[in-house]
């Protein structure tokens, strides 16, 4: 089936009791045993499993072409489950420009438990130099947040395989609509489902999808079930509903982002635009090889530095100045201010989550703010 069909049908279960074509929300925390003490339904306790979470995990598995999925209460909880599943002393290689929330999590919560290096992963020589006998995981984020850097997935995965190292990829920006890392050889894919999967800035969640059910995946599942950082049945239900429109929403996000990026790239007050769909992107050739589309995220560097960037962001009307991304409404943020003193983000960079408003209105709003 094509991805549009998978998005609509893989997470839906018709209700046999009523004939309802949409699965009901099962709020029960516990499920009745049969006379032999077993469970006819397969469900025991909602921290472990729940019908709505099963439906969500099924559609996510199918969208990424994986073997199984595990849903969490946030993207950070999903990321943490990966790091919690590793043996103490494991060395992890991570990108030097990765999402600051997970970067800070690793640095603050896993110091003394895991070893880690933040490097330029795309530099083959640097990557090879940092591989150690105890390296167990390479974490990839592509496109990266907020620099929109692209990692050559096939190249990094090939290096990892020669050293028997696992590869996990944060696929939040691209979504499975535009990129499927598991099909390129990654072992694990992570998403903040708060973003494009939810799509309306009103749900919190995270997910991991595995290429195969192995011992590592069993450990991750144990972290999910025993740790209990799981989404509620209501959240799972609404995520399944939102995912039904994901392919069509992503098509709209990408079209708007492409047109806005092209407009900004030609504006005299813009220093540069970072967007995978622009031929000026330094890794445009890699993008053509591993992505089916370019996504709805872009960053723009403004001439005049931080002061001018903040003037512009405060002059916009349709673009809400807010954290997060992936909703139907357009958001904009001075990212360096959010990331803190160790940020690698230029002080004149504005990160834009391009929404589904009419592109003419978005460009008009930006034109007025730029002056």
Give catalytic residues, as residue numbers. Answer: 47, 99, 170, 195
Token readout for 138 is 């390479």
For every residue of 42-68, DSSP letters joined together read S--BTTT--HHHHHHHHHHHHHHT-SE
User: Are the beta carbons of 61 and 67 closer than 8 angstroms?
Assistant: yes
Rounded to whole angstroms, the Cα distance separating 296 from 288 reads: 16
SS (H, E, C) 11-45: CCCCCCCCCCCCCCCCCCCECCCCCCCCCCCCCCE
Of 343, 262, 287, give the one whose Cα is nearest residue 98.
Answer: 343
Q: How much is the CA Rg of the chain, to the nearest whole Å?
A: 21
- Sheet of 349-353, strand order: 270-274, 297-302, 349-353, 331-334, 320-321
Which residues on adjacent β-strands are paired with residue 111?
A: 114
Return the beta strands (E) in the chain as ranges.
Answer: 68-72, 91-95, 115-119, 135-141, 166-170, 188-191, 206-210, 270-274, 297-302, 320-321, 331-334, 349-353
> Angle at Cα 174 formed by Cα 168 and Cα 175, nearest 5°?
80
């Amino acid at each position: 089936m094509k991805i549009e069909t998978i998005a609509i049908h893989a997470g839906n279960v018709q209700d046999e009791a009523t004939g309802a074509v949409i699965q009901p929300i099962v709020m029960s925390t516990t499920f009745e045993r049969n006379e032999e003490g077993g469970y006819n339904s397969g469900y025991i306790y909602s921290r472990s499993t729940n019908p709505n979470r099963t439906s969500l995990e099924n559609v996510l598995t199918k969208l990424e072409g994986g073997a199984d999925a595990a849903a969490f209460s946030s993207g950070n909880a999903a990321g943490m489950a990966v790091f919690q599943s590793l043996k103490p002393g494991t060395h992890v290689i991570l990108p030097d420009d990765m999402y600051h929330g997970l970067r800070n999590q690793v640095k603050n919560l896993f110091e003394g438990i895991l070893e880690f290096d933040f490097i330029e992963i795309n530099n083959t020589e640097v990557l090879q130099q940092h591989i150690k006998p105890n390296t167990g995981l390479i974490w990839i984020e592509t496109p990266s947040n907020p620099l929109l850097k692209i990692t050559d997935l096939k190249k990094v995965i090939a290096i990892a395989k020669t050293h028997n190292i696992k590869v996990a990829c944060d696929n939040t920006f691209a979504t499975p609509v535009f990129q499927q890392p598991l099909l390129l050889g990654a072992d694990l894919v992570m998403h903040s489902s708060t973003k494009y999967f939810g799509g309306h800035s009103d749900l919190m969640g995270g997910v991991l999808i595995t290429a195969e059910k192995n011992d590592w995946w069993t450990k991750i599942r144990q972290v999910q079930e025993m740790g209990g950082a799981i989404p509620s049945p209501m959240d799972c239900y609404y995520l399944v509903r939102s995912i039904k429109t994901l392919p069509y929403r992503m098509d709209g996000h990408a079209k708007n982002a492409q047109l806005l990026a092209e407009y900004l790239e030609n504006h005299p007050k813009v220093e540069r635009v970072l967007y995978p769909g622009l031929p000026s992107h330094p890794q445009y050739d890699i993008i053509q090889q591993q992505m089916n589309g370019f996504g709805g995220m872009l960053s723009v560097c403004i001439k005049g530095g931080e002061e001018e960037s903040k003037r512009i962001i405060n002059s916009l009307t349709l673009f809400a100045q807010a954290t997060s991304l992936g909703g139907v409404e357009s958001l904009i943020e001075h990212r360096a201010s959010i990331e803190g003193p160790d940020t690698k983000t230029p002080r004149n960079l504005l990160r834009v989550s391009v929404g589904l408003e009419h592109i003419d209105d978005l460009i008009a709003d930006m034109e007025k703010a730029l002056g």
